Amino acid sequence: MKNLKDKNLFREAGLIGGEWVAAGSGRTVDVVDPATQAAIGAVPDMAGPETRSAIEAAAFAYGDWKKKTNAERAGLLEAWHGLMLAHLDDLALILTTEQGKPLDEARGEIRYGASFVKWFAEEARRINGHTIPSPTPDRRIIVLKEPVGVCGIITPWNFPNAMITRKVAPALAAGCTVVIKPSEFTPFSALALGVLAERAGIPAGVINIVTGMPVEIGNEIVANETVRKISFTGSTRVGSLLMRGAADTVKRLSLELGGNAPLIVFDDADLDLAVEGALVSKFRNGGQTCVCANRILVQAGVYEAFAAKLSARVNAMTVGPGTQPGVAIGPMINMAAVEKINHHVEDALAKGAEIITEKPVLPEGAQYVAPLVLTGATKDMQLAAEETFGPVAPLFQFETEEEAITLANGTPYGLASYFYTENLKRAWRVGEALEFGMVGLNTGSVSMEVAPFGGVKQSGLGREGAQAGIEEYLEMKSFHMGGLG
């Protein structure tokens, strides 16, 4: 990859037991720049045998890693964190080249990703067990916290750095070792993290990275008895497939799945703040985030004013390659994404919605999509039921608070939700009525390392980040000492 200050960060090999390796079959998978559709490199197309080797390497490394003191593990994570920040520009460039998001956003993702490593380095020092008062005088009971073991980490393309660190940092802090399967669309960000982990002194086999097409790698991670936990971020379809598969060996699971976030704007909202929140929530990463506002519900009294303010801001957005300064919306990840977005828009238009934004000049390249505001959205449209995962902002109109809550909760998903009001009583009523793992009041952003991140209903199981995030990688052991009378 051209223009990297440190060219060694770009690796076209998997990482197993401290060795950078090709696939046994010699097969590779091309990785494409979504801005140009040109290949930027290729990674090994690994399968079952390489995944088994990676699991064995992780199991071997686990023996020593779990015995390190928590402070030693914390120190190694701190060193990894420092290297991520020292190589921020290169990591961001790799990320933008394979994923497409604007370079400024990619830099933000590297900082965000690194924040989990710092946070869990700190949490490693606070893995405290506890004591239980004994029911009899001759016994003492303590509860020990122990690592789960070898973890399979499966991550998506939309945040190729942070979705890995949000899992790997707590896993390593807890004393687990990992086998990472990054998205086949964005493996280079994961491999660069592997290079920096090596440089930080994290021992061979603690982090293994298996690249390639998902099914055979996934099947091995799911079936292999040595893997004691799977942490997955991605679609609900694949998440439920993994959940079914993991049942056979009764693995622990963390699932961060799809969302269908509502963003509700009440008549009593600060409209400028609501527009800012909608822009952040809807258009970050070109609308390709699991927490992005998929349905913007606006109360009748401010509907026209909100639509006008939002569309003025959207009209000012520039679409282009993520490496071009000033670009707000980069290319979509692939043609399937573009087709889904177009299909949602066509379906909405056929059912009575209207585009109120201007048609922007799109650069050459098949994967660019115009950011849009649609008025007249209704719940029978496909974009109301499924994640559009693109820069399309559909505005639904409602009359009453009850109607807004019913609309907002009318989805099998329950990841993020947002609402705007200046009324304190309404703030509590609505905040408590929303059936989502995360609620933002007067903010369009809920993602940060200090707060629990995760969903309810079909948006998943477990929480990442915060103090809760490390518990996902720990088992409790009740240790009873008898005969003390």
Ligand X SMILES: O=C[C@H](O)CS(=O)(=O)O
What does 183 bind: ligand NAD, ligand X, none (CB cut-off 5 to 8 Å by kind)? ligand NAD
Residue 235 binds what, of ligand X, ligand NAD, none (CB under 5 to 8 Å, by partner type)? ligand NAD
User: How many C-beta atoms surround the C-beta of residue 8 within 10 A?
Assistant: 10
According to CB under 6 A, which one of 102, 113, 259, 321 is a site residue for ligand NAD? 259
Q: Within positions 31 to 60, which residues make up the interface with ligand X, using CB under 6 A?
A: none
Q: Which is nearer to ligand NAD, 266 or 436 (CB)?
A: 436
Contacts with ligand NAD: how many residues (CB under 6 A)?
Answer: 27
Identify the residue among 70, 235, 409, 443 touching ligand NAD (CB under 6 A). 235
Q: Tell me which residue of 250, 224, 270, 246 sits closest to 427, measured CA to CA.
A: 270
Scan for tokens 């609620």, then name that residue.
439
At 241, list the tokens.
């497939």
Token pair listed for 155: 């991550």
Query: What residue 234 binds from ligand NAD, ligand X, none (CB within 5 to 8 A, per partner kind)?
Result: ligand NAD
Residue 447 CB, shortest distance to ligand X, in Å, is: 3
C-beta of 28 vs 447, nearer to ligand X: 447
User: CB neighbours of 230 closer than 8 A, spacing ≥ 6?
Assistant: 151, 152, 153, 154, 221, 222, 242, 246, 251, 252, 253, 254
Q: Which of 53/447 has CB closer to ligand NAD? A: 447
Binding-site member from 79, 85, 241, 461 for ligand NAD (CB under 6 A): 241
- Is residue 256 part of the annotated active site? The answer reads yes
Burial 161-198 (b: 16+ CB within 10 A, else e): bbbbbbbbbbbbbbbbbbbbbbbbbbbbbbbbbbbbbb
Confirm or reject binding of residue 447 to ligand X (CB under 6 A).
Answer: yes
* Residue 447 contacts which entry, ligand NAD, ligand X, none (Cβ below 5-8 A, type-dependent): ligand X
**Residues 155-174 close enough to bind ligand NAD by CB under 6 A:** 155-159, 163
Cβ–Cβ under 8 Å, residues 32 and 39: yes
Binds 409, which of ligand X, ligand NAD, none (CB < 5 to 8 A, cut-off by type)?
A: none
157 vs 135: CA distance, rounded Å: 52
Please choose, out of 93-101, 152-160, 322-330, 371-379, the segment that lies near ligand NAD by the rule CB under 6 A. 152-160
If binding is defined by CB under 6 A, does position 281 make contact with ligand NAD?
Answer: no
Residue 10 or 413: the one with the smaller Cβ distance to ligand X is 413
**What one-character-per-residue DSSP string does 286-333 give?**
GG-STTSEEEEEEEHHHHHHHHHHHHHHHHT--BS-TTSTT-SB---S
Instruction: Report the alpha-carbon distance of residue 314 to residue 303 in Å, rounded.
Output: 16
Which lies closer to ligand X via its Cβ, residue 208 or residue 233?
Answer: 233
x-marked contacts with ligand X along 144-183 as a string, rule CB under 6 A? --------------xx--x---------------------
Q: How far apart are CA 93 and CA 259, in angstroms?
A: 28
β 413-414/354-355 pair status: unpaired
Q: Compare residues 163 and 172 and give the one whose CB is closer to ligand NAD.
A: 163
Q: Does 184 interact with ligand NAD (rule: CB under 6 A)?
A: yes
In degrees, rounded to 5, the angle at the alpha carbon of residue 196 between the alpha carbons of residues 1 and 5 is: 35
Q: Could you tell me the smallest distance in angstroms from the CB atom of residue 162 to ligand X?
A: 6
**Catalytic residue (one of 256, 276, 387, 401):** 256
Q: Which of 238, 395, 430, 434 binds ligand NAD (CB under 6 A)?
A: 238
Number of residues in the chain = 485
Of all residues in the shown chain, the one whose CB is closest to ligand NAD is 218
What is d(CA 405, CA 198) in angstroms, rounded to the nearest whole number?
49
In terms of CB distance, is 127 or 466 closer to ligand NAD? Answer: 466
Which of 239, 360 has the CB closer to ligand NAD? 239
> What would the two tokens of residue 86 be?
């020292």
Angle, to 10 degrees, between the axis of helix 48-65 and the axis of helix 214-223? Answer: 50
* Residues from 417 through 456 that contact ligand NAD (CB under 6 A): 455
181 interacts with ligand NAD by CB under 6 A: yes
Touching ligand X, residues 280-309 (CB under 6 A): 289-291
- The H-assigned helical ranges of 147-287 are 162-174, 187-200, 214-223, 236-246, 271-283
Nearest to 208 by CA among 8, 31, 51: 51
- Site residues for ligand NAD, 214-233, by CB under 6 A, read 214-215, 218, 233
Of residues 172, 154, 207, the one with CA closest to residue 16: 207
Catalytic positions are 256
* Interface contacts to ligand NAD, rule CB under 6 A: 154-159, 163, 181, 183-184, 214-215, 218, 233-235, 238, 241, 256-259, 290, 387, 415, 455, 460
